[in-house]
Structure 1
Amino acid sequence: MKMIIVDDERIGREGLLDFIDWSRDYGIKIVGTAANGQEGYELYRSVRPDIVLTDIKMPIMSGIEMAEKIRAGDKIVKIVFLSAYSDFTYAQKALKTRIDDYLLKPVEEAELRKMMDRIADEKMEQTRRDYCKKYFVDILAGKPDLCVQLREYSFQVFLLGKEPVPKIDGHGLWLMEFHDGANVGIAKYESGEEAVWNGRSAREVFGFCYAGRCVDRPEEIRRSYNEAVLSQYFGSFWELEELEYSQIVKLREQWGRHEAEMQHELVKLANDIRAAISGCDRSRVEAAVHRTMRYLAQNQGIDPASIEDFIMRLVTRIAEEFHDNETRNSLWELRVSLQGRNQFRKIKGILIDWLINLTDTQEEKRKQSETSIVQRVIQIIEEEYERDIGLRTIAERVYLSPNYLGNIFRNATGMYFIDYLARHRMKKATELLLSGPDKVTKIGEAVGIPNTSYFSSLFKKTFGITPKEYRRNNQKQQ
């Protein structure tokens, strides 16, 4: 290990040089000294030491300023502050610079050795970890010389938890390293030995366990690792704490064999959902989505892309019912929303939201259409009331069934069609009774009711008096 000493007092620098036998006791080589923080920083950049032993208060640049500059680009180098008693509070503030330790001046040999023992142990552990990390990476890369040494073994890779564990070894594994955000464990088996380490008990320690398949050659360890990574991705998607890649392979085979059955189920689900949307029945839509997701959940562990593909085929089939740009645009937005979703239940929520939104859109369009139709029917009544018109004849003209037209007309006006038509005819009849001397028979014919008896009866039912009485009463008032 290399160390530099930074102190503005020459006696302090020289005293530390000979204070202990750095080389013999700790394997440390002092590669330079500096009289202030600026010189110390330049020296650090030049020799890249493992340890920086520095005073705090110095001219030009303080030890704290120097440490901050060093720390900005180097998180590994060990930095130790030297502080006089009067500077103790100052030194405490300096801890924010993420230094590794500090010593009070005058330095006691016992304290210095205690600190150096700890730093030496940490550096040795870091060196060991660096070596293990390199060895691990070389194993994953299939380095030829290592593969030759490991030819008689088979291997299996596991991804275990998301936090580093204190010890690399143990847990029944040959190697374990924190790599790419997970504890990667490699089990090693003698040739012909059954792969028995399945990692289930490890869930109590790590929280989850995802495994690649066992491989017979060290060059294939990378493949097992990639499979473990996929197992982790699939397992996270399905919120499974344990998944082995061999299970994924089986599920893919089953998925492929059941394609015809799945297509039948897809058509059935699409028809159910389309009917619910057309009926603007939100609860029925949600129930159909729950059935869809229960069906897909039978394949826990399958590739999330297969789930996304099934859902996109489903919604595309649903959207075929509704030919408009708005639906086509929302279909594209749905595809974007589904991409990269890392949990099955989140996809379920997205699908429900999209279908409910589609239902609401169709309901709004239906209401607008119904309003337009009712307005058209009222226009026909106002323009053709004197003709022989009825619900059936008008329904044919607006291309609806009489029952459906009658329902939307009543919902919009609060009246049955026949009552609305009768009221309008009676209103026109009163106008004719007051505007001229025509007989009741002729007025009845003029408003579309040629049967005089029925006309008089309907008029009296509406106004409480006969047509003649209505005319006579209003003439007296005039």
Structure 2
Amino acid sequence: MWKIAIVDDERQVLQGMKRAIPWEQLSAEWAGEALNGADGLKMIRETEPDIIITDIYMPSMNGLDMIEQLRKEGYDGKIIILSGYSDFEYARQALRYNVSDYVSKPISVPTLKRILSKVVEELTEEEVKRIKQGEVEQKLRLYEPFIEKEWVRSAVVGTLEGTYRSPDSLPYPYRYWSECNHIAIGIDTVRDVRASQLPLTDWNLFRFAISNISCEVARKIFAAIEYTELHSSRAVLIVHPQPEKSHGELEDRLKELGMKLIDSVKCYVKLQIRVGIGEMKQEWTKIPDSTEEAFRAIDSRTQRFVPNYEMYWYEREAKGNKNQQSVTLFPVKFYVELAGAIKSSQEEEAKTLVEEQVKLLENQKAITPEYIQMQAGEVWGVFNYSLYEAGILLDDLFPNDLIAKELILLTDPVQLGEWLCSKISVICRSRQLRGNSKHRQVVDFMTHYIHEHYAEDITLAELSEKIYISRNHLSIIFKNITGETFNNYLTRVRIEKARELLLERNMLVYEVAEKVGYKNVPYFSTLFKKITGMNPTDLIR
């Protein structure tokens, strides 16, 4: 029920209003009355009516002063001024206070009913919009865990765009990052005989178990941590150590963490993991460097941290050791970017990433066929895992035995690049990937948002900030799922809504243009004709 209050210094007007308003028809009820602005202000604060009908000239406080005070206090209800003075200056002031209507006394009953019906209709539309907005916000809240997960992963591996790397862009739960140190701990599950025989569904269950174990163990040693999965067998644990009494104390805690991680995973899930520890960084934007260092430590396996434990420490002098061929030639960032390109079906982007890395391999000396096959297996694991996240089993496209036979035939970087690019083409052109990708959830949110906010100045950049996915990546996802660009879709929604409004013949062309988000009427008319084949004026004749 909509609540209506009346403020007027004439009791006869108050009583007449009560009798004239069609309460049941408007789904409205009486909220209260007052004979002056001061009493009206008090009554409105107490009853919080949806609609106020008020006079201007009244004792104690006039109507305009009362309205001004209400607006300052945040009252956003509808206000109708019913005055015995048809003065332009009063009307101008009323407009400044966002008054719904300004009517001169005396007012006829039909006019009163018409004005109130219009105001109630506006309130109803606003209520529906609020409900829908609440639904959108609820969906966004449901989506927040995924958003935060993606943001942390991007921050850890270095795929955040420049605009997201400023201190102001830190999401609220991670604001503390700007005030502490950071160490990346790489976790690599060893693909031994048992691990290699696990089907993908079981493999992902084990990854989930490893993540739970890692977080539980780490929280007992470090107060602040984040865990993010990367590709197939690898994950990163970020710890944020407080200032220690000595370097030795921090080293002891890291040793304890690494040993407990290895022992716990072996005990509870019967899998082996290797642990690599990157250097401590003071700035959170340097976390990707620590991540890369952690996995270089694992791959080189030269700086063992603790005897009898597969735990390795990154040291700068080890970086230049000519005897270590195993420094990561395919960096962590590459794997994450490749997974993103595959999931969003970006064939050319994925091929470019592979070609760039293969060129680096070609410049390396003494690259063995075994090393090429190892890298191919790693990338194939990335394909498997990223497609599984998108709801697709790679086994449906490529039989396992065929891939195993093809891998052992790869002997040099050129063959590796050609083989990977051929697989990328098949994957990205698959209807399964285009139709079943979990990115449809993102696009559903975007299209719903467009339909609710088409009249506003919404941009792809604005949406990318809401869900912490880069603007370019969001554009690609949207185009893949809908078949058209974000701007084209927005324009089409606006023009279709404009066509509906024009057919109602209640508004002029410039009013319709503003209603659907266009302030430049000639530009609106050009777009309208381009999409519908006719001028806007043709619909209102």
TM-score (norm 2): 0.30
Greater RCO, CA 8 A, separation 6+: 2
Which entry has the higher C-alpha Rg, 1 or 2?
A: 1
